[in-house]
Chain A
Amino acid sequence: MEKLTKEEVLHVADLARLKLDENEIEDYAYKLKAIMDSISLINSIEVTDNEMTISPSTAKISLFKEQENKTISKADALKNAPNKIDPYIYVGGSIDE
């Protein structure tokens, strides 16, 4: 049974912002390959039209009017934050001191 290389699995995991342990890498090597094989079938399909459909919506899509709207309260915004220092959501540092 064919599989992806470890490097390929780690590459796609990085794109998806995931980290995998060794068992997962081995398991996904087979399963991701099986899905990619299924996906690759579209390369053999011929379409004559170059038009694309991104959404089936037929709604006339316009931008929201520029106007002042009611926003959520600070208490609501903070309600589900796992780490907070009221009235802020805590985000870990991204630059070393």
Chain B
Amino acid sequence: MSNYLDLSLEEIHTLLKNKTIKPIDLVNECFSKIEKNKDYNCYITLNKEQAEAKAKELENVPVSDDLLFGIPIAIKDNIITKDLKTTAASHMLYNFVPIYDAYVVKLLKQHNMIIIGKLNMDEFAMGSSNQTSYYGPVKNPLNKDLVSGGSSGGSACAVALGMPFLSLGTDTGGSIRQPSSFCGVVGMKPTYGLVSRYGLIAFASSLDQIGPITRTVKENALLLNAISEKDSNDLTQEGKKEEIKITDDIDLSKLKIAIPKFYLNDKIDKEILNKFNEIKSLLTSKGCQIDVVDIKYLENSVSLYQIIALGEASSNLARYDGIRYGYSTTKFTDINDFYKATRSEGFGPEVKRRLMIGSYLLSGANAKVYYEKALKIRHAMIEEFHNVFHAYDYIIGPTTTTLPYPLGANNDDPNKSFIDDILTIPVNMAGLPALNLPIGYSKDNLAIGMQIIANRFEENKIYNLANYLEQALNLGGKHE
């Protein structure tokens, strides 16, 4: 088997340009790797025939200067793809074949990228360990007995295994950053409104964003540039203001960085905190001003998320009725029984739990008691972030409170999947951009990540600091 997919994007591009290799070589290598690593369960659907046909078609197209030309990419299975089954990892959509492409998919095709397949995830993106998938869990690329994280577990694990090294995930409360941290890859949750959500199967519409997962920071920036074009189909989207440019000579002495006190609390694993403190020391030694600050409401983010995300989810998932598409029951007494039976047989236990809570929170007087209160706290939390960014360039902290844990552990605790995201949820509440950067490994060789957060539409800033750290740590795309 060839190893072209281990080369840098620039090296692959040069080989394509001088016709040493063809796109089909990359596609064949990718499918060989997927076959070899199938027990990681990264994929729900492979797009082999269409990917091979596209690769062959590109042999007749002059290789442009676009580094993404002819490069394989895989897509989380809640982003719809024309004529390619899209299940959101749910039995409810086991046979759903979309009739159009999500806007981000349309853009990838315009860049002549080759879609390899649809990646495993938590059902409807509800989970943080990829164990709620109807198609089984994704395993951690560094230890098969452990979880990959979620909900974009397939997206992160596939990139870590280089099959291929670029993917799209989605992040509602940490679903790009947390699995990226667990799998040791770079994952960006963009500013709310940077990337079009058109064609994303909605979970919580005011929190959801599509973002890139890659092996290096520069590849991540390149992919984000490609998917953040303005789209008139998403009225909440603004698109990119400028192309992201990464410079290798960032002046660290002028940077002011805040670390929320809550991001250093004693519930966070010691090995994670130690590794994070090494980064803090490195930045301080280079002249950065780093202060520990108090940001109110961060410790309340789990309750806040449970109200806002589940309320929105109960509304968004009301559309699954078995009439127009998806799973449909055959055993029912009347139309109301038909809806209930279809939904009960189509949804898994985690989704049902969240829909029941969400429906309850929005019903009658509860909307005022819980939902309105949550929206007020959300507003106050955003004001807190505004104040911090008035004085600082960045907020940094660990991405997760724990290292990856064993498959099957904590499955009886209904709050576990929410608590996993306690450090990542606040970013979604405020619509901020945040990137998970791998910063090293634990004594058991498990990946550790940190978050770099900036103000809205300041992805450029994030990538520049992340690129500096990636080079300083010499970890980009490498696993021990």
Interface extent on B, as a size class? 35 or more
B353 touches A28 (CB 8 A): yes
B323 touches A49 (CB 8 A): no
Secondary structure dominating the interface of B: helix
Q: How far is the CA of A54 from the CA of B372 in the complex (A)?
A: 9
B353 touches A81 (CB 8 A): no
A18 touches B375 (CB 8 A): no
Q: How far is the CB of B233 from chain A (nearest CB, A)?
A: 9
- Residue picked from B192, B363, B380, most chain A C-beta under 10 Å: B380
A81 touches B383 (CB 8 A): no
A89 touches B357 (CB 8 A): no
A12 touches B95 (CB 8 A): no
Q: Which residues of A contact B375 (CB under 8 A)?
A: 52-54
The contact string, 1 if C-beta is below 8 Å from chain B, for chain A 1-39, is: 000000001011101111110001001100110111011
Interface residues of B in 65-101 (CB under 8 A from A): 95-97, 99-100
Interface residues of A in 25-69 (CB under 8 A from B): 27-28, 31-32, 34-36, 38-43, 45, 47-59, 61-62, 64
Q: Which residues of A contact B339 (CB under 8 A)?
A: 17
Knowing A58-B456, A59-B237 are in contact, say whether A38-B418 is a contact too (CB < 8 A).
yes
Q: How far is the CB of B434 from chain A (nearest CB, A)?
A: 13
| B207 nearest in chain A by CB position | A56
Knowing A12-B359, A16-B359, A50-B376 are in contact, say whether A35-B306 is a contact too (CB < 8 A).
yes
Q: How far is the CA of A51 from the CA of B359 in the complex (A)?
A: 24
B238 interface residue per 8 A CB criterion:
yes
| B380 nearest in chain A by CB position | A47
A18 touches B377 (CB 8 A): no
Q: How far is the CB of B92 from chain A (nearest CB, A)?
A: 11
Knowing A15-B360, A39-B361, A89-B324 are in contact, say whether A20-B377 is a contact too (CB < 8 A).
no
| A-B CB contacts (within 8 Å), total count | 172
B377 touches A56 (CB 8 A): no
B378 touches A52 (CB 8 A): yes
Of the candidates A18, A58, A83, the one whose C-beta lies within 8 Å of that of B352 is A18
Spot the interface stretch: B139-147, B153-161, B182-190, B295-303.
Answer: B295-303
Of the candidates A40, A56, A61, the one whose C-beta lies within 8 Å of that of B430 is A56
B359 touches A56 (CB 8 A): no
A85 interface residue per 8 A CB criterion:
no
The contact string, 1 if C-beta is below 8 Å from chain A, for chain B 359-394, is: 111010000011011111111101100000000000
Knowing A17-B340, A80-B325 are in contact, say whether A56-B356 is a contact too (CB < 8 A).
no
B255 interface residue per 8 A CB criterion:
no
Knowing A12-B357, A59-B235 are in contact, say whether A42-B318 is a contact too (CB < 8 A).
no
Of the candidates A20, A47, A52, A80, the one whose C-beta lies within 8 Å of that of B96 is A80
Of the candidates A28, A53, A79, the one whose C-beta lies within 8 Å of that of B378 is A53
| A93 nearest in chain B by CB position | B335
Q: Which residues of A contact B352 (CB under 8 A)?
A: 16, 18, 20, 24, 28
B193 interface residue per 8 A CB criterion:
yes
Q: How far is the CA of A59 from the CA of B205 in the complex (A)?
A: 15
B356 touches A13 (CB 8 A): yes
Q: How far is the CB of A35 from chain B (nearest CB, A)?
A: 5
B335 touches A79 (CB 8 A): no
B415 interface residue per 8 A CB criterion:
yes
Knowing A18-B344, A19-B341, A38-B302 are in contact, say whether A45-B357 is a contact too (CB < 8 A).
no
Knowing A20-B344, A35-B306, A39-B307 are in contact, say whether A56-B360 is a contact too (CB < 8 A).
no
Of the candidates B307, B376, B418, the one whose C-beta lies within 8 Å of that of A49 is B376
Of the candidates A12, A36, A42, A94, the one whose C-beta lies within 8 Å of that of B377 is A42
B149 interface residue per 8 A CB criterion:
no
B284 interface residue per 8 A CB criterion:
no
Q: Which residues of A contact B322 (CB under 8 A)?
A: 82
B236 touches A31 (CB 8 A): no
Of the candidates A11, A35, A81, the one whose C-beta lies within 8 Å of that of B325 is A81
Q: How far is the CA of A51 from the CA of B306 in the complex (A)?
A: 20
Q: Which residues of A contact B347 (CB under 8 A)?
A: 18
A49 touches B383 (CB 8 A): yes
Of the candidates B357, B372, B382, the one whose C-beta lies within 8 Å of that of A32 is B357
| A31 nearest in chain B by CB position | B414
Of the candidates A9, A56, A76, the one whose C-beta lies within 8 Å of that of B99 is A76
| A19 nearest in chain B by CB position | B340
Q: Which 9 A-B pairs have the closest CB atoms?
A: A56-B431, A80-B325, A82-B328, A52-B375, A15-B359, A57-B236, A31-B414, A53-B379, A16-B359
Known: A39-B361, A48-B380, A92-B332. 7 other contacts (CB 8 A): A18-B355, A38-B418, A42-B377, A54-B375, A57-B192, A79-B97, A92-B334
Q: What are 18 inter-chain pairs, A to B, with CB distance below 8 A?
A: A15-B356, A17-B343, A31-B414, A35-B306, A38-B303, A41-B300, A42-B300, A42-B304, A42-B373, A49-B380, A50-B376, A56-B456, A59-B236, A61-B236, A79-B97, A80-B324, A80-B325, A82-B328
Write the residues of chain A forming the contact surface with B, with a CB cutoff of 8 angstroms: 9, 11-13, 15-20, 24, 27-28, 31-32, 34-36, 38-43, 45, 47-59, 61-62, 64, 72, 76, 79-83, 89, 91-94
